Structure 1
Amino acid sequence: MSPTPPSAAATTSVRLIEVADAPALAAHLARDVEAFARWQPARPEGFHTAEHQAARIEQLLATHSSGGGWPGVIVADGALIGQVTVSTILRGPLQKGFLSYWVATVAQGHGHAGRAVALTLRVMKEELGLCRAEAHTQLENLASHAVLRRNGFTPWGVAHAHIHIDGAWRDELFWGRNLADGAPPQ
């Protein structure tokens, strides 16, 4: 059964992922495999199943328990529509984390990604105590560039042939945002 898409006027929230989210995540990922192929690395066989997602969620939660990340989901009007993750948290003098996200195709174009990023920046600052957020986007991913710019990120460099996606090595733009200066966007 396919998840019901949220309405265009849906509210957006983020929360810590749960193992019970596996079927909804798997349904979105299986349906959107072709749409995401250009933007995400190749996935192992079975990745788009609820069983694989449940095991993956358990690993993400173990990393969260050890302080290495914050795995979240994006929710609109009670429906799970995507995932947002803070990974590779570095402590000590850096106090930063790497932000990534995706929104199911049925919920794209309604501002959910931008609102989810803003909410996750608040988690990064207030809950995780981080000072800096970083993200990477492919040079051609203009939608993600807009989301990051609206949330106060600025580009700071290009890594050539940084990631292998859809059969080719892709350049990526590196983005950063200082969380210590002022509050994250509302």
Structure 2
Amino acid sequence: MPFAVSLSDDVVLRDVTIDDAGPLADAYRRNRAHLEQWEPARPDDFFTEAAQKRVVDLQLEQAAGGRGLFLVLAAGDDVVGRLNLSDIVRGAFQNGHLGYWIDAELAGRGLMTRAVVSVVEHARAGLRLHRLQAGTLPHNAASQTVLTRAGFQRFGYAPRYMRIAGEWQDHVLYQLLL
């Protein structure tokens, strides 16, 4: 069942499609400086349509296997953000990892909080997950605010958890029991 939620008059949260490869590449190039402190170091090839097509192909395969939910925030034909539930594990765990970013021009408008709240409800009612988890860099107050407003609670601190901006960096861990 396709996922689509209107977040504002001009922004929709919806399933990623292969047709988003070009707009994703544009969005990543437009936001390269904005995102580089929050994401893994990216090779120049990452910012091309061909690379984004490979990423989306893999994500669509994972989604078809029930291992992820991969979404874009779209304003018309432009991609202005991403929101993903990845590493979905079933069985006794019923857990997914939440990750997201929004275009620098749209930050601070509450769009990502609305997007996360929408995905939380879908994870609960549609995907029937038990738990969502997310991690943020300790100094990423904006992302921590999004998670807190969406009902997540801090549950841990992970030293050198993930390689971000070329360095192993600590993360604050959040969870939401659904």
Q: TM-score, normalising length from structure 2? A: 0.90
Matches within 5 A, 1:55-70: 55-70=54-69
Aligned length: 171
Q: What secondary structure, in the 3-state scheme, does the structure 1 residue paired with 2:80 have? A: strand
Which ranges of structure 2 fall in alignment gaps of 5 or more residues?
1-7
CA distance in 2, matches of 1:46, 1:113: 27
Could you give the per-residue CA deviations for residues 42-61 of structure 1, whole angstroms, max 9, x where no partner exists?
12331011111111101000
* 1:143 match: 142
Show the counterpart of 2:83. Answer: 84
Unaligned runs of 5+ in 1: 1-8, 180-186
| 1:12-27 to 2 correspondences below 5 Å | 12-27=11-26
Where 1:57 maps in the other structure, the secondary structure is: helix
What residue number does 2:173 align with? Answer: 174
Assess if the C-alpha contact under 8 Å between 2:23 and 2:77 holds in 1.
Answer: no
- Contact (CA 8 Å) 1:10, 1:77: kept in 2 or not? no
Partner secondary structure for residue 20 of structure 1 = helix
* Partner of residue 5, structure 2: none
C-alpha distance after superposition, 1:10-38 (max 9, x if no partner): 45432111011111111110121112111
Structure 2 CA distance, aligned partners of 1:138 and 1:11? 30
Deviations 1:113-158 (A, max 9, x none): 1011011112211221111111000000000000000000000000
Residue aligning to 1:116? 115
Seq. identity, %: 32
Shift of 1:80: 2.7
CA 1:55/1:23 → structure 2, altered by over 3 Å: closer, same or farther? same
- In the TM superposition, residue 166 of structure 1 has moved relative to its aligned partner by 2.2
Per-residue deviation, 1:108: 1.4
How far residue 76 of structure 1 moved from its aligned partner, in angstroms, is 4.3
Write the mapping of 1:33-112 to structure 2, written as runs, cut at 5 A. 33-76=32-75, 79-112=78-111
